[in-house]
Amino acid sequence: MKDRWALCALGAWLMGSVIMIVVATRNFRLVDELLQASPNAHFQELVQRWGQGPTRELLRYLSSELNREYFQLWNIAQLVLGSATLLLIARRGSPAGARRLLAAATFLVLGVSLALAPSITALGRSLDFVPHEPAPPELRHFWRLHIAYTVLELVKLVLLALAALWLARRKSSDVAAAPTLPELAASEESS
């Protein structure tokens, strides 16, 4: 039963990670889409009054701050999900490979949360409202950190998917090895 709960937690972890990727990229695209074709007349009036450049800069700043907040909260939630999943499969009968994969994913999130995310946040905030033409030297460093974060996120997703497959395969082999109802009835009749 604990393996089933572990699979549920893994499913939530995987789905949350995918949702975060979509939300983070979508926030920035939406700014440009709204500036180009928002159906809200009052919004378009404000854009005309303030100018498209300053409005875009302000909305991108808002998107950046939202993403920073979402990722900080999601990293905390991931640590809770990782710890809970590890506790659920900590007993002897659970596959050691799945435990190792989950431990690696959880420690990866911990490392990203403690080392990489604060650096990205601080550097990102230092670049808010700074002209990007010509590109400031810090921008290149920001993108390196961002790419590292993305690669580690993909590694984590692979680790989680492999752990989920390992647990699911084990559960399906347990179900296949379990006696069927007719087999149980036949064994009771012969006793």
Q: Are 61 and 27 in contact (CB under 8 A)?
A: no
pLDDT value, residue 176:
47
pLDDT value, residue 59:
96
Upstream peptide bond of 179 is cis (omega within 30 degrees of 0): no
178 in a structural domain: no
156 Cα distance to chain centroid: 9
The count of domains in the chain is: 1
123 in a structural domain: yes
191 in a structural domain: no
The predicted-structure confidence for 40-94, as pLDDT tens digits, reads as follows 999 999 999 999 999 999 999 999 999 999 999 999 999 999 999 999 988 767 7
35 in a structural domain: yes
187 in a structural domain: no
Confidence grade of residue 172 (pLDDT, cut at 50, 70, 90): low
Say whether pLDDT at 173 is over 80: no
93 in a structural domain: yes
pLDDT value, residue 3:
79
67 in a structural domain: yes
As given in the structure block, the two tokens for residue 145 are 């950190």
Say whether pLDDT at 182 is over 70: no
Q: Are 117 and 75 in contact (CB under 8 A)?
A: yes
29 in a structural domain: yes
Domain membership of residue 127 as a residue range: 2-172
